[in-house]
Each structure stands twice: as structure tokens, then as C-alpha cells.
Structure 1
Amino acid sequence: MNLAELPCRTLAIVRGRDREAALRTVLTLAEEGLTASEVSLTTADALWVIERARRSLGPSALLGAGTVLTAADAARAAEAGASFLVTPGITDTESRLPHLIGAFTPTEVIEAGRRGALAVKLFPASLGGPAYLSALRAPFPEVPFLPVGGVDAASAAAYLAAGAVAVGVGSPLIGDAADGGDLAALRTRAAHWRAALTEAAAR
């Protein structure tokens, strides 16, 4: 799994109160070319969403589970068909699956690396912004960072310019789609996101 090769270097974060709507959101994003999604385990019936999305998208789809807090969460997500796991912080989630481990401070970045993180999920990224990412990259130039939290199209481009391998985006892209909102509006947001990020992602 190479995060630098994600379409628009974007991981879509799906979190919602309606399992059918959350599933439709993942599938619609894939149709619109944003083929890497994380389904938060705080989503209604999240494991069902992951399982059904995996059936529809096939074994090669980049479909992960987010807000993974325990080893039991990790095991259930893997069984449902997740191909990677995302944690909000340093957790005990031993699994054969690649991990994107949440961290914010230098000490946490070191610990995430010690635990074999595929990438460090810089969270909540909005507390420091692209300037903080640049500062972190000075002592950690080889660490792949994926900023999450308050990321919109403008800040996403700035994070990529600051050296992020990719970005994670939730509500600015998803809107209310995973709660049963308008999928046509989701398609429009996805198109705008692709237009805004295609050039930045290619740098």
C-alpha cells in the first residue's frame, strides 16, 4: 500500500449514522475516482459497511477501518474485509494489517514508528497546520505523514506542499452523505476536490 499513489493523494474518511447511506457514500466516492476510503468504527454498523463495500469493490480496493482502539477492533475489522487500520492515537491494536497510527508530538511520532506504522496520522492536524508539519519533518524527514482533522481543499494542498504523503478528509468532502444526505451533492464535492487537488498531488 503506497499512500503517495492514492488518487489525489486523498484518503476519504466516512463516518455516519446510517449504515446504508455510509455504504452508498463509499461506493459513490469510488465511482467518482476517490477510491481510498476509511470507514470509522463509530459509523452505524461499521463492520457491515466494510463487508458490503468489500464485496462490491473487490479484493484490491483500498478500504480501511478507522477509529480502531483495541486488538478486538482490529480483529473484527480484518474479518470484515478492511485492508488497513487507522488509529486516533497510540493504541494496542496488534494486527497483520498495515497501520496508520495517530500521533501529534515528536515523542508520539517516535512511538508510532517503533510500532511499525505504515504512516503517521498527524491528528488533530488543524492544531498546528502545515507549518507544524514542516517543523515535524525537520527531525523526521523519512516519516510519511498523513494529516487528518480540519483538512479542506485549501489546507490539503498546503499540507502536500509541506511534505505530507497524503491527506485524510472527512466532512468537507463527505458532507452529510453518510447520514442520508444528497449523493448528487457528494458527487459535486468529489469533482471539486479532484479539481483542486490533482495539481497539488502531482508535485
Structure 2
Amino acid sequence: MNNQDFSWESFSAVPIIGIIRNLSFDTVEKILPVYLSSGLTTIEITMNTPFAEDIIKFAAQKYKGQLNVGAGTVCNIHDLKVALDAGAQFIVTPILDVDVVKTCVKAKIPVFPGAYTPTEIYQAWQMGASMVKVFPATLLGPEYIRDVKAPLNQIKLIPTGGVNIENITSFMNAGADGVGIGSQLFDKTLIKNEDWNGLEIHFKKFIDKLVHNS
């Protein structure tokens, strides 16, 4: 396990979790150096991606100390064990599964469980979640993050779903502690055309928005 290798420092510098779902091993292998060279630091491989275990293992070993590599869509203890055995450094869930959260907390693995309502968000935090993934954030928007943060300002929130280049700054200004981005970050056309230079420029636009508020 590489749990001790998760770098909060590098995540805090660029608090974006890039979510890879349903991309082939070969494609991910080509994307990772571009992702790293753009300045992004944290990547999530969803467990419902074909050969997710192999991708996590490859990324965690090859980019050890350079990238935070985690597993997403972890819904149960079986998924969790597979992910950790592959070397996942953090765990993301779409739902609030008590067993998964408590197991991660006990093992000191950063865990970002998915929650939607203020009650679920608070419960996840009380269980020891490192951050709480507000999912799906598509319809809720930045104002929801602001509203939840008003009474629950101590809870770290990472909205996921619906975050894009236009609203990323609004989410962060509303009090988000990071964002999870999937298809908006991993542009399908650029990837299909293997336009790696274009993809790096695309990645950097998100960082510019986030870091420089530009």
C-alpha cells in the first residue's frame, strides 16, 4: 500500500482531482505524463473502468512521489480491498458507505465519500472523512456549496459533477476545498486525436482558472 505517499501539499497547491472513467490502459498511459507536465497533481481511476486495478497499479508505481493516484467509484469493502491492493493512495466513493469510510479512517487512508444533503455531508465528516465529495454538484451549483459552508464551515467539501472551465472559479470562491472533474477535463476529442500538446494546454487552462483566478 502507498497510503503514506498521499501528498496533501501537492493537492492543496492544485486542488483538482481528475477523474478517469472508461479509458483504456494504453490511453491512460499516454495521458499521465501530459497530466503531470501540465502541473496537475491528483488523479482518480474509477473502479468501473476496465482494468482499473492494473491502471492504478501502473500509475502508482511509475509516478510514485509525483502524482496522488486514487480509486473512485468504490462502493463496498471488496472494491476497497482491490483498490488498496493495487496501491491506491486515496479513496473516493459516490455514496456514503459506512464500512468503506470507517475502514479507510482506521487505516489512515484519505477518503472522500460522496454525499448530497447537509445531513449526509455532516455524517460523512463525523465518521472521519478527509473531505466530503458533494455529488452530483451539477444542478446544485456553487451557491449550494456556499449555503452548506455557512453553518458547516469546518467541513472540507469537494464538489464533483458539473464542474467545468466556466464555473470552477465560482465553486472555489463559494468555499469549495477542491473539485473533482471528469469528462470536462479529459476532453474526448483531444484524446481521440491523440493531440497531447492540445490536451496539456487544455489542462493548464483549468489550473490558470484555479490558481490565478484568471
Instruction: Tell me the TM-score normalised to structure 1 length.
Output: 0.90
Q: Which residue of the partner structure matches residue 189 of structure 1?
A: 202
Residue 63 (1) aligns with residue 75 (2): no
Q: Which residue of the partner structure matches residue 170 of structure 1?
A: 182
Residue 151 (1) aligns with residue 157 (2): no
Residue 81 (1) aligns with residue 93 (2): no
Task: Give per-residue Cα distances to partners, 1:87-111, cap 9 Å, x unaligned.
Answer: 0011131232110010110111122
Residue 18 (1) aligns with residue 31 (2): no
Q: Which runs of 5+ in 1 are unaligned?
A: none
Comparing 169-178 and 74-83, the one that deviates more: 169-178
Query: Which structure is higher in RCO with an 8 Å CA cutoff and minimum separation 6?
Result: 1
Structure 1 position 179, deviation (Å): 6.9
Structure 1 position 28, deviation (Å): 2.1
Structure 1 position 35, deviation (Å): 1.6
Structure 1 position 11, deviation (Å): 1.2
What is the aligned-residue identity percentage? Answer: 30
CA distance in 2, matches of 1:134, 1:191: 26
Q: Which residue of the partner structure matches residue 45 of structure 1?
A: 51
Q: Indicate how the Cα distance of structure 1 residues 46 and 136 shifts in structure 2: closer, same or farther if over 3 A, else same.
A: same
Amino acid at match of 1:195: D
Instruction: Tell me the TM-score normalised to structure 2 length.
Output: 0.86
Helix, strand or coil: the match of 1:168? strand
Q: Which runs of 5+ in 2 are unaligned?
A: 1-6
Structure 1 position 191, deviation (Å): 2.1
- Considering only aligned residues, what root-mean-square deviation do their CA atoms show, in Å? 2.1
Task: Give per-residue Cα distances to partners, 1:33-90, cap 9 Å, x unaligned.
Answer: 1021011112120110011111210146311100001111111111111100000011
CA distance in 2, matches of 1:157, 1:143: 19
For residue 119 of structure 1, the aligned residue among 125, 128, 131 is 131
The answer to whether the Cα contact below 8 Å between 2:36 and 2:67 also exists between their aligned partners in 1 is no
Q: Indicate how the Cα distance of structure 1 residues 20 and 79 shifts in structure 2: closer, same or farther if over 3 A, else same.
A: same
